[in-house]
């Protein structure tokens, strides 16, 4: 029985597993929709009781799902500490806060926990193979992207300081932090327009800042795209475990070497011979 439940929950290649996944996806979307509607004052006043009962039901369902996953997992600790295991747990806590402290919304920490119910939407990533590839690509490129953003920070501070010196308080650049705010808005091509240079030299620096902003947009995209191509290639050659999301298994592997869960069938994309 335990093995059958495991195959249903983790075995997306089985008929029962696919039905379970579809049902769980619908439940997740419904629960997130309730969270969104509950934040609308008019809806909350008219349907507070309905929202509360639905939240209670969803919380019980997700609690049961989490406990069953722990029970059927060959290595419960590996699942509990995995990305999706943490997401499952974090998504449960706000639900119980909303149930046991419904009138404590004035407390900032409680309001924060209630909003964290939206974390349930991350549970959908488990059923999107491409999302897992993207997450691994972002993780692999974090060092390069961090260095890139450090360089951008230096550029923004320089441009902001220049505008503070050139324009001054009389043109709205009353401090270096406020000038840096202008530089961030300009480099990211948002351009709110609440602060703008008035002198010819300031406008020249602003034009240069805009050009730099357009030029640097492609850099992180290129970095992440390169890592994404690498991860896609890995995905074609190796299994990834749906339970703990670890990779590095041999093409003929049947079970995860990290948590012991059954691996999905390998579907290698390539030309037919």
Count of C-beta atoms within a 10 Å radius of residue 85:
22
- Domain residue limits at 161: 142-218
Query: What pLDDT digit, counting tens, does each position of 51-89 carry?
Result: 888 888 988 998 998 999 899 888 888 888 887 788 788
Of the chain, the end-to-end C-alpha distance in Å amounts to 41
**118 lies in the same domain as 162:** no
Mean per-residue pLDDT, 144-165: 89
**117 lies in the same domain as 202:** no
User: Does 199 have pLDDT greater than 80?
Assistant: yes
Q: Cα separations (Å) of 142 from 42, 84, 86, 148, 201?
A: 42, 20, 21, 10, 37
State both tokens at 219.
């850099």
User: Does 156 have pLDDT greater than 70?
Assistant: yes
Mean per-residue pLDDT, 172-185: 91
In the chain, the number of structural domains is 2
Position 7 scores a pLDDT of: 73
**15 lies in the same domain as 111:** yes
Domain membership of residue 24 (yes or no) is yes
Report residue 271's pLDDT band, with 50, 70 and 90 as the boundaries: very low
Average pLDDT value over all residues in the chain: 77
What pTM, to 2 d.p., does this model score? 0.52
**15 lies in the same domain as 122:** yes
Q: Cα separations (Å) of 180 from 63, 164, 271?
A: 46, 9, 52
End residue of a domain, out of 78, 100, 127: 127
Q: What percent of the chain has pLDDT over 90?
A: 13
CATH number of the domain enclosing 91: 1.20.120.350
**104 lies in the same domain as 146:** no
Mean per-residue pLDDT, 212-240: 74
Contact 116, 94 (CB under 8 A): yes
Domain membership of residue 17 (yes or no) is yes
Rg of the chain on CA atoms, in Å = 25
């Amino acid at each position: 029985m335990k093995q059958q439940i495991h195959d249903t929950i983790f075995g997306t290649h089985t008929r029962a597993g696919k039905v379970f996944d579809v049902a769980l996806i619908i439940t997740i979307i419904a629960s997130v929709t309730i969270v969104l509607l509950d934040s609308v004052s008019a809806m909350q006043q008219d349907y507070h009781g309905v929202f509360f009962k639905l939240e209670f039901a969803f919380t019980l369902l997700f609690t049961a799902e989490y406990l069953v996953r722990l029970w059927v997992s060959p290595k419960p600790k590996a699942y509990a500490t995995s990305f999706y295991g943490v997401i499952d747990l974090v998504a449960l806590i706000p639900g119980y806060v909303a149930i046991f402290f419904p009138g404590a919304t004035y407390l900032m920490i409680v309001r924060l926990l209630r909003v964290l119910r939206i974390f349930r939407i991350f549970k959908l990533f488990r059923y999107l193979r491409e999302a897992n590839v993207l997450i691994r690509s972002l993780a692999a490129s974090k060092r390069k992207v961090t260095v890139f953003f450090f360089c951008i920070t230096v550029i923004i501070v320089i441009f902001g300081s220049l505008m503070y010196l050139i324009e001054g308080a009389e043109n709205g650049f009353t401090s270096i932090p406020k000038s840096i705010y202008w530089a961030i808005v300009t480099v990211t091509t948002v351009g709110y327009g609440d602060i703008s240079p008035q002198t010819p030299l300031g406008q020249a620096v602003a034009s240069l800042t805009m050009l730099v902003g357009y030029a640097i947009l492609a850099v992180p995209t290129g970095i992440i795209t390169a890592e994404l191509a690498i991860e896609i290639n890995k995905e074609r050659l190796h299994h990834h475990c749906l339970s703990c999301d670890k990779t590095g298994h041999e093409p003929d592997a049947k079970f995860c070497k990290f948590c012991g869960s059954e691996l999905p069938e390998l579907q290698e994309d390539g030309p037919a011979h």
